[in-house]
Amino acid sequence: MKRTLMYNFRGVYGRELTHSIAFLVGKYAARNIRARTQKPKPKVYVGNDHRFSSNSLKHYLIQGYISEQMIVRDVGLVPTSVLSYAVKKAADGGCEVTASHNPPEYNGLKLFEADGSVVKPDVEDRILEEVNREVQSSFNADGASILTTDYGITSSITVISDYVHDVVNRISTPVPITVGIDCRFGTSFTILPMLLKSLKCTYYPIHHEQNPYFLKESGEYLNPEPKESNVQEISALVRYASLDFGLIFDGDSDRSVVVDDLGRYVPDDLVLLFLATEYGANPKKVITIDTSLMVEQHLRQQGYELTVTPVGDPFVARAVLEQGASFGGVPNGHYIFPDFLPYSDGLFAASVMVQIASKLKGRGMKLSEFVEQVPKTFIRKVKLPFGRSRDEFVSDVVPRLERLVRTLCRHVDRLETDDCVVMCKDEKIKLLVRYNRWDTNFNVQAESLESAEQAEGLLNQLRGVLAQI
């Protein structure tokens, strides 16, 4: 059966992601947990974001769990990382109903293992195969009798308070600071007031209501993704109020992006660098293949032991645990602090940035000044259409790319997962083309440590090759 759902069972509510699919995901996720734990009645925690469809999908998900004799604890509306934290503390597995940064018509089901990590892609694929098999046999969960055996509620305030207490015990803020926060109408404001006050921060929020359609009062849609093109309003707030820095979160709060005290976007690669050097005494760190050459070189020069993975936080999470690393990150706002959670946590990353800004302020330095001390690099990125399969990318595109990049760089690498990446680098440049399986397009990246003009020229050479495909 052709896959219509994206990762984390993500799709349009009522079309790709139906009540019946939610029920069946709960059913087969429960069977997976029982097979793993060998317990007669394992316990799961279930949470949700604020989307208009989340409570309905959660109901059917819970029905699927209960149909397999699971003990279910409903923690209600919480950020995804808080659900992960609750699972790690007291459950055999769990699920957050969320579609993160996707538009409001989307939703998804993010499954967790007992240690708080997301289930492995192969486990998710096996569950999806079983779900599809029953869907094809015309299974329909609508109208079924309601099951309530072993269902209970765990207060979201209790879980959030435990999370905040644990964070505060790990983060040092010697000097109080001021922070602007853009919640993008997502889940982050369910915890940020308690968290930031506990970290000695005075906070100034915008877009902090949980709007199920991500709509401003004017009716304008607000994209809930934290990225450079969406920082204008938090940047203006930071400048206007003379704040120490600003943060922007995605819909389910597992990603965060930073602006400095001048309201300037701090590139995700630099945030990754700051977090990697600030947190965790263990020198083992994990980064992805699309991480900046400058960041990689800087970390290696400082004596850090790096493991480089394919693009994606699941690969980082796996490598962090396998290598015993103290930090892992993807330069798109996904950062993992494994001694706290083996899952991407925008809230914990924000807390570490608070620690950094507080220490800097105690030394009389601003975040913008700290950013200026980092070696310069110039990165140009573009997404280009392809619209064909991964196999066609490997057979038709990769050979031409490798011929080009071998004329520019000494080191050429190819990583093949469900995606495929061709990367080359030298002392001063790095080039990368990634086939993205979800939109079947190219993600193209060119980096120069010397000039923006060189980065632009390299990007144009890659464009030229790809335009001929």
Nearest to 108, CA basis, from 38, 174, 189, 12: 12
Checking DSSP bridges between strand 177-182 and strand 201-206, what pairing results, if any?
parallel
From residue 338, give the alpha-carbon distance in Å to each of 150, 229, 280, 345, 347. Answer: 31, 30, 9, 10, 14
Q: Is 2 helix (H, G, I), strand (E, B) or coil?
A: coil
| Pair 136, 1: CB distance under 8 Å | yes
Other beta carbons less than 10 A from residue 140's beta carbon: 11
Going by the DSSP 8-state scheme, the letter that residue 5 receives in this structure is S
Going by the DSSP 8-state scheme, the letter that residue 99 receives in this structure is -
Strand segments (E) across 116-162: 151-153
Which residue among the candidates 54, 81, 100, 326 is catalytic per the annotation?
100
Phi/psi at 185 (nearest 5 deg)? 60, 25
| Pair 401, 433: CB distance under 8 Å | yes
| Pair 345, 335: CB distance under 8 Å | yes
Other beta carbons less than 10 A from residue 73's beta carbon: 22
53 as an active site residue: the answer is no
Other beta carbons less than 10 A from residue 155's beta carbon: 10
Measure CA 284 to chain center: 21
**Rounded to 5, what percent of the chain is helix, strand, coil?**
40, 25, 35
Active site residues: 100
